[in-house]
Amino acid sequence: MDKPIKNNPWYWVPPLYLTEGIPYVLIITVSVIMYKNLGISNADIGLYTSFLYLPWVIKPFWSPLVDLYATKRKWFLWMQLLLSLAFLGVGLSLPTNQFFIISLAFFWVASFASATNDIASDGFYLLALKEEQQSFFIGLRSTFYRVAMVTGQGLFVILAGYLEERFGDNTQAWSLTMVLIASLMFLLTLINLWTTPNIEKAKDYVKAESLTFWKVFESFFSKKEIWIALAFILLYRLGESQLVKMASPFLLDSREAGGLALSTTDVGLIYGTFGIIALSLGGIIGGIVISRDGLGKWMLPMILALNVPNVFYYFLSYFQPESAFYAGAVVIIEQLGYGFGFAAFMMYLIYVAEGPAKTSHYAIATGFMALGMMIPGMVSGFVQEWLGYEGFFLWVVSAAIPGIMMVKYVKYPYYYGKKKTAEK
């Protein structure tokens, strides 16, 4: 398969980022729903599934290896194959007596493989596309990444819910679901093998003295106003990092516990149909407007779009409506805003990674992004149990304020990401 494929981003960006997003959503989000349905407490779910973020936090420490050795394409293909095997391990471990520990161990393997797959896939994206292409396709890229996430929260959960009802056994249902997901991951690995272009040569990875392991880090942390940038990255999704852990338990929990008592199938259907449409639309529009106007015009509107809709979860918890229609409406609004707002965040991360060793610098930036998701997520279950769902969602809304206030302090070219027409 050394014959080069034409570098048409419409051809390879969608499957590559679908394959990047599916493992992430399974490890970080679907595992929450699975463990909830297998009887694990909210506190344990919040703590242990948030710990699975750790590989994304520390991935900068091995990202230079991806930059220094072999092609990005080889890296992500091998990692995707390893992910298929890890999810198979999760599925086969669920019927055992020690399912929680064993399945978490396989999720750990999957986490490291997924984080490495992210490094290589993102590096490939930065190498294969010019700046104006990166901004245009950031919407398509983030859309398919989010399509993967909502597919996980939607179609996979619908499947598990259907199997729960058919078998009358949650363990058997989730075991089969994970085995089928492992098969899907293997199929997607083959698709990426066939569709991604061979734009790299192995000889290109014999790097010059200027790109040593430690100089990669030194060049990143010597960037101008890098600490303000990192603070912004940590705070951009401070509210959402907690919401994402407790949203599904809220929809599934009994009304006596403050939840909406929806079925697993209802939750999957809400995310997998209306949610995916809203998310896709938001992501595509976000990429188009940044490509048209540049990042400066849209940063504030986009961070507001990502965070403000979270207030509707408070209203759901306060009124606890009987009909699933209201939960669906809130998910549509939140997903539309999330898809739109996340486009600015991804474009800013690309800006922070500018310069030598783009792949490693992007990995470091996204490592801080993961840290901003992991630590708040770890305590989210305890905070929810302490405050109840109403108090928790008010806290989520207020947690967004520091990130919004930091918008005026971060520096980047006003027209960064705008499609070039004549002169820069």
| 240 belongs to a structural domain | yes
How far apart CA 415 and CA 4 sit, in angstroms, is 34
Identity of the amino acid at 154: G
Tell whether the torsion through CA atoms of 318, 321, 326 and 327 is positive or negative.
positive
How far apart CA 19 and CA 400 sit, in angstroms, is 29
What pLDDT score was predicted for residue 198? 80
Length of the chain in residues, anyone?
Answer: 424
Half-sphere exposure of 211 (CA within 13 A, CB side): 19
| 22 belongs to a structural domain | yes
How far apart CA 331 and CA 343 sit, in angstroms, is 18
What pLDDT score was predicted for residue 424? 34
Neighbours of 142 (CB within 10 A): 28
How far apart CA 271 and CA 234 sit, in angstroms, is 26
First to last CA, the chain: 38
Tell me the whole-structure pTM to 2 decimals.
0.70
How far apart CA 238 and CA 252 sit, in angstroms, is 23
What pLDDT score was predicted for residue 208? 42
| 242 belongs to a structural domain | yes
| 320 belongs to a structural domain | yes
SS3 content of the chain, % helix, strand, coil (to 5): 80, 0, 20
| 208 belongs to a structural domain | no
Q: Work out how many domains the chain is built from and give that number.
A: 1
Q: CA gyration radius for the chain? A: 21
Q: Which parts of the chain register pLDDT below 70?
A: 1-6, 130-132, 135-136, 139, 201-213, 356, 420-424
**CATH number (domain holding residue 392):** 1.20.1250.20
Nearest alpha carbon to residue 306 among 351, 346, 350: 346
| 218 belongs to a structural domain | no
Neighbours of 401 (CB within 10 A): 13
Question: What are the tens digits of pLDDT across the range 322-380?
Answer: 999 999 999 999 989 988 998 899 899 989 988 767 778 888 888 898 889 888 988 89
Domain span at residue 188 reads 9-198+224-408
| 420 belongs to a structural domain | no
How far apart CA 120 and CA 7 sit, in angstroms, is 17
CA distances from 112 to 33, 58, 115, 205 (A): 21, 10, 5, 23
What pLDDT score was predicted for residue 422? 39
| 340 belongs to a structural domain | yes
